[in-house]
Structure 1
Amino acid sequence: MPTVSRTFTVESSPAVVVPYLADFGNAEHWDPGTEECTRNDSGPVVVGSTWHNKSKIAGVSTELTYTLQELTEDRVVLIGRNDTATSTETIEVTPSGTGASITYTNEIDFHGAAKLASPLAKVVFEKIGGDVVKQMTDVLNALPRQSM
């Protein structure tokens, strides 16, 4: 099971970062692989909210349904599923100075014949991990520093 984890800091506070990242529709802005991410339900973003995500990774298009599995003041867990894989994205946010320290971890569990892709996927996702850090940092640093 390929796992990629990165820790980095941003200028926005946890009170701003956590709600922004919990709304997975925002992945269109911070995840370089996401081409489209549409909310399936409506109302406030809460545990159980779902999104339809279309991504392209290393030239391969895929679609997953993501569910917000856990949401606390310092942790967001989103699980994406389709027939070939389950992607668990865990984002832990702690105060760091006036901003936040973020640990982003993505675990991919391939199903069936797709498991054969695991070794290659690890290499691809390691590269994507660096891209996510850069793009997420830029997006989060552009948000207001404090919650309104």
Structure 2
Amino acid sequence: MVEVERTLTLHHPLPDVVAYLADFSHAEEWDPGTVSCRPAIAGGGVTEGAEWVSVSTFCGRRSELRCRLARLEDQRLTFVGRNRTATSTDDLIFRRKNGATLLTYRARIEFHGLARLASPFLRGEVEHLGDEVADRMAQAVDSHFGIGGGSTS
């Protein structure tokens, strides 16, 4: 299992940021590894239990994940994506801070089968991806709501 955590300050109202990120189809905008992401059921809406089909690239390999919104709360979102090679969990925790939104982004990838043996060797790639996600997520939120300036730490 490989885990990363990043903290971002987003200069937009918390409810707006949560609503934008709850729609996982926006992952194309903030996750550099996501090639495409579409609702598994057309017109299904963004509710707890909603699912998306996400096509991603990681370490030069293309894979499809079925991602489910496992937790939808006012200040927390959890997405779980699965395929036969891995289970990916994106946990987003939001707090208000001085009129901005403080987002703690945690990603965990649990590899299955023979792919588990590669976990120690993939840690660096996952760390790098965590940095890219944090940068792109701040840019995507700013772009969606208008420039406000997000920062990472």
TM-score range, shorter chain: over 0.9
Distance 1:143 1:87 in 2: 25
> Scaled by the length of structure 1, what TM-score is found?
0.94
After superposition, give the CA deviation of every residue in 1:122-141 in whole Å (9 maximum; x if it has no partner): 11010011101110011112
Aligned to 1:52: 53
> Scaled by the length of structure 2, what TM-score is found?
0.91
Give the deviation of 1:8 after TM superposition: 1.4
Aligned to 1:75: 76
Q: How many equivalent pairs are there?
A: 145
> What is the one-letter code of the residue matched to 1:99?
A
Kindly indicate whether residue 85 of structure 2 is the aligned counterpart of residue 89 of structure 1.
Answer: no
C-alpha RMSD over aligned residues: 1.1
Give the unaligned 5+ runs of structure 2: 147-153
Provide the identity percentage: 37
Q: Is the 8 A contact 1:12 1:143 kept in 2?
A: no
Distance 1:132 1:138 in 2: 10
Distance 2:98 2:145 in 1: 15
Matches within 5 A, 1:1-20: 1-20=1-20
After superposition, give the CA deviation of every residue in 1:26-80 in whole Å (9 maximum; x if it has no partner): 0000000000001012233101100000011221111100000000010000000
Runs of 4+ in 1 over 6 A off after TM superposition: none
Distance 1:14 1:33 in 2: 25
> What is the one-letter code of the residue matched to 2:23?
D
> What is the one-letter code of the residue matched to 1:61?
R
Aligned to 2:141: 140
> What is the one-letter code of the residue matched to 1:101?
L
Give the unaligned 5+ runs of structure 1: none
